[in-house]
Amino acid sequence: MKLSHRITHLNGGGSDGWDVFYRARRMIAEGQAVTELTIGEHDIRTHPSILAEMDRSARAGHTGYAMVPGTDLLRDTVAARVQTRTGVPTTRHNVLITPGGQAALYAAHMAACDPGDVGLYLDPFYATYPGTIRGAGAVARAVQTRAEDAFQPDAAMITEQAEGAASLLINTPNNPTGVVYSRETLTEIADLCRERNLWLISDEVYDTQIWDGAHLSPRALPGMADRTLVVGSMSKSHAMTGSRCGWIVGPEEAIEHLINLATHTTYGVPGFIQDAASYALTAGDELEEEVATPFRRRRALAMQVLARQNTVGLIPAQGAMYLMLDIRATGQSGEDFANALLDTHAIAVMPGESFGQAAAGHVRVAMTIDDDRFAAALQTLCEFAARLASQTAAE
């Protein structure tokens, strides 16, 4: 039977750059010890107090269909949190609860783009972005950022690609680079969205993981609340990746239509998960600090290890659970380097090429194993890179 073009072309063809990841998983399944620094899964689990609330709520009967827009309690909780953090007036009518940030990304593009409109996104990018945009019927168009600019986007380069665009998707703190966009960058992006009449889809799922400075939500910039759809999630902030609970915050009219979309797609999020999320978001900062602290510590460890050598470069990482390492001095591509590191030292990292062309010659390291093993793995990676670089120099 013929399958739709939309579903068969989600990936856009070509290698998806995830071969190293799958190879590492196979090696582990075969019983080999592999140090895995690949995907963004925490090495801790959801806090017992959050699970206790999930259990209490389910036993109290919240196992039936929940309200499609989200429970009033969670919508109010998210609205209050966003208003406190950004100063932008926000009520439950600005909030739709979704099954995770991923569903929110898809719904936001459904709201912003008609079939054939261009959805812009920035390279390097989180792996699902182009497929999400195509899935919503739009044309996914990447705008390059540059390692030389520490992957801060350049508004002029975005403007050059903006013909036919209805939306621009950004992500700060950024996966895969760990970069946090500066106020200047975000102001320029906001200006261009207003000039070109674009929706800004702002993926802020890492907003509690900031190591330097503060998170700035572009919805708070002048004139942006009417054209920004913010994507949030419990996954990263509270180690609740499996609970599938996220949200979109945006203008009331957009949220009304998005609720209608949810009725015809996801039909909401389980009530006991939403109760657990409401509890987690109001239980004080300790819960999210407990999740963020190990990454903050490991990022400091990484800076120490990297400061002792000069082959591997570190893109200044101010947030999120990843580091982007520049291994171009080895003369290898990120993919060849990652494969060789896996074969030689059983350390798995993601090739930069998995995240687009802009991160070629880089590898992404997830800071998701315990401190000692993390520091040792980075040390080994640096020594390996130095050996490769001296071989390249001798050739």
Which parts of this chain interact with ligand PMP (CB under 6 A)?
40, 100-102, 126, 171, 175, 203, 205, 233, 235, 241, 246
Q: Between residues 102 and 354, which has the closer beta carbon with respect to ligand PMP?
A: 102
Q: Between residues 175 and 333, which has the closer beta carbon with respect to ligand PMP?
A: 175
Beta strand residue intervals within 99-162, DSSP E: 118-123, 139-144
> Least distance in Å: CB of 292 to ligand PMP?
15
> Least distance in Å: CB of 277 to ligand PMP?
11
Q: Report the alpha-carbon distance of residue 324 to residue 9 in Å, rounded.
A: 29
> Least distance in Å: CB of 38 to ligand PMP?
12
Sign of CA dihedral 105, 110, 112, 116: positive
Q: Between residues 162 and 231, which has the closer beta carbon with respect to ligand PMP?
A: 231
The structure tokens listed for 331 are: 């003369």
Q: Report the alpha-carbon distance of residue 321 to residue 174 in Å, rounded.
A: 9
Q: Between residues 126 and 374, which has the closer beta carbon with respect to ligand PMP?
A: 126
Place of tokens 């196992």: 63
Q: Between residues 185 and 241, which has the closer beta carbon with respect to ligand PMP?
A: 241
Q: Name the burial class of residue 159, with classes exposed (0-12), middle (13-18) and buried (19+) by CB atoms within 10 angstroms of its CB.
A: middle
Q: Would you say 35 and 338 are in contact if contact means Cβ atoms under 8 Å apart?
A: no
* CA angle centred on 306, ends 305 and 311, rounded to 5°: 135
> Least distance in Å: CB of 201 to ligand PMP?
11
> Least distance in Å: CB of 247 to ligand PMP?
9
Q: Report the alpha-carbon distance of residue 89 to residue 71 in Å, rounded.
A: 20
> Which of the 8 DSSP states describes residue 66?
P
> Least distance in Å: CB of 392 to ligand PMP?
33
Q: Between residues 174 and 330, which has the closer beta carbon with respect to ligand PMP?
A: 174
> Which of the 8 DSSP states describes residue 243?
G
Place of tokens 């120099």: 393
> Least distance in Å: CB of 39 to ligand PMP?
7
Q: Report the alpha-carbon distance of residue 374 to residue 382 in Å, rounded.
A: 12
Q: Between residues 44 and 60, which has the closer beta carbon with respect to ligand PMP?
A: 44
* Consecutive H or E run containing 107: helix 100-112
